[in-house]
Amino acid sequence: MSTVNGLPISISGITKRYGDLYALDNIDLEIKQGEFLTLLGPSGSGKTTLLMALAGFTRPDHGSIKFGDEEIILKAPHQRGVGMMFQNYALFPHMNVEQNISYPLRLRKVNKTEILERVNQALATVQLTGFGDRGIDQLSGGQRQRVALARAIVFGPRILLMDEPLSALDKNLREKMQIELRHLHEELGMTTVYVTHDQREALTMSDRIVVINNGKLMQCATPRNLYDYPANKFVAEFIGESAFLKVDHQGDDIYFNGQKLLVETPPKGQKDLLLMIRPERLMVMVDGQDSENMNIFNVTVSEIVYQGETKIIYVILDDGTSISMRLSTRSGQPQNEIDEGDKIKLVLHKSDTTIVEDGGY
């Protein structure tokens, strides 16, 4: 059971312009109490601007931000009671670990006994008990991030804001810290808004992910729904790999190259539609296979690339487009029999046959 201790956040109509540029364009977002929500988007999409608006370092031109029932848009950063762990919000190099962590408490004029108690508790939470006397230059990159985290949570904030806190760490340590941050979130229950441009990090850590592009909110969904049902081509391309095939639609019926497709829920409206194919969702059809709920595609194998745990098979569809499939290299699979040049049939389950709107850029 995880703790829920955070405040809900209600963002409505937030706009921030720099000259002609909309860094944030009319953002509406409800963040649930105790939720781990990630802002995901390419560089320059507005993630930091939105986090800074929550922290109080950026004043939006329009809109409202509530923490719980309280409007905080006019409040100074130190009045908002949020914990912060930012890329450029470094530790103080001339203070030791304990002095760094106690800083927010000293600012708040907490008494000495309580400071000691809280600092020790924070050190234990980030697994650095006994490190209080260390200098910052005596710590590894991962330990520094833990100290920064301890400093962010030491005063018991109900909202924690983190801007790419792991981006300076190497891959292994980053993956370990992702899991640690996730566990810490479950333990402390703060409403957490996390910024990253790394889609895998977002999928690993989040209850929900908000995809932003050009200051606009593209989609807000659970990791699984975002991956399986992206709102548009931009989101689909940003999260995971996929090929896009132009389809025609007549009412709710969707056609690829004259072939009617079985689809779960086609999008409504008159927009240009695309069939999104994730490489790992395609399968090789075998003789006698039950094809109910399956879309079948005739293809020619053009190239096979072995990559260890998986292999990528490039195939050419009837209309000449090339797509790829990613398949297991486990023994006894139908794909192990395939050679370059073979004509084969691929199957794609109806519920993996996702139609997305073109656009989102």
Question: What is the distance between the alpha carbons of residues 217 and 284, in angstroms, rounded to a whole number?
Answer: 37
Please name which of 215, 206, 238, 197 lies closest in space to residue 87, comparing C-alpha atoms: 197
φ, ψ for residue 144 (rounded to 5)?
A: -60, -40
* Binding partner of residue 34 among ligand ADP, Mg ion, none, CB cut-off 5 to 8 Å per kind: none
Size of residue set near ligand ADP by CB under 6 A: 11
State the nearest-atom distance from the C-beta of 21 to ligand ADP, in Å.
6
Report the candidate in 354, 297, 302, 304 with the shortest Cα–Cα distance to residue 333.
Answer: 304
Q: Which stretch binds ligand ADP (CB under 6 A): 44-52, 65-73, 252-260, 265-273?
A: 44-52
Instruction: Answer with the entry of Mg ion, ligand ADP, none that 41 interacts with (C-beta below 5 to 8 A by kind).
Output: ligand ADP
Q: Which does 146 bind (CB under 5 to 8 A by kind): Mg ion, ligand ADP, none?
A: none
* Residue 45 interacting partner from ligand ADP, Mg ion, none (CB closer than 5 to 8 Å by kind): ligand ADP
In the complex, least distance from residue 237 CB atom to ligand ADP, rounded to whole angstroms: 17
Residues 169 and 144 sit within 8 Å (Cβ to Cβ)? no
Query: At its nearest, how many Å lie between Mg ion and the CB of residue 48?
Result: 3
User: 278 CB contacts (<8 Å, ≥6 apart)?
Assistant: 240, 241, 242, 352
- Residue whose CB is less far from Mg ion, 58 or 121: 58
Chain position carrying tokens 């025609």? 248
Residue of the chain from 6, 41, 83, 360 that contacts ligand ADP (CB under 6 A) = 41
DSSP letter at 96? Answer: B
Q: Give yes or no for a contact between 335 and 320, defined as CB atoms under 8 angstroms apart.
A: no
Nearer to Mg ion, 164 or 352 (CB): 164
User: Could you give phi then psi for residue 280, rounded to 5 degrees?
Assistant: -85, -5
User: Of 164 and 228, which CB lies nearer to ligand ADP in the complex structure?
Assistant: 164
SS3 state at 277: strand
Cβ atoms of residues 310 and 330 within 8 Å: no
**Residue list 46-65, contact with ligand ADP (CB under 6 A):** 46-49
Cβ nearer to Mg ion, comparing 119 with 162: 162
Of 242, 238, 267, the closest CA to residue 357 belongs to: 267
Q: At what angle do helices 171-188 and 112-125 cross, to 10 degrees?
A: 130
Q: How far is the CB of 16 from ligand ADP (least distance, A)?
A: 8
Give, as ranges, the residues between 313 and 352 that touch ligand ADP (CB under 6 A): none
Q: Which bin fits 162, alpha (ψ -120 to 50), beta or left (φ > 0)?
A: beta
Tell me if residue 224 falls in helix, strand or coil.
Answer: helix
Terminus-to-terminus CA distance in the chain, angstroms?
40
Rule CB under 6 A: say whether 174 interacts with ligand ADP. no
Q: How far is the CB of 249 from ligand ADP (least distance, A)?
A: 34
Using CB under 6 A as the binding rule, the residues of this chain from 9 to 28 that contact ligand ADP are 18, 21, 23
Residue 360 interaction partner, one of ligand ADP, Mg ion, none, beta carbon < 5-8 Å per kind = none
Q: Which residues bind Mg ion (CB under 5 A)?
A: 48
Nearest distance from residue 104's CB to ligand ADP, in Å? Answer: 24
Q: Which residues bind ligand ADP (CB under 6 A)?
A: 18, 21, 23, 41, 43-49
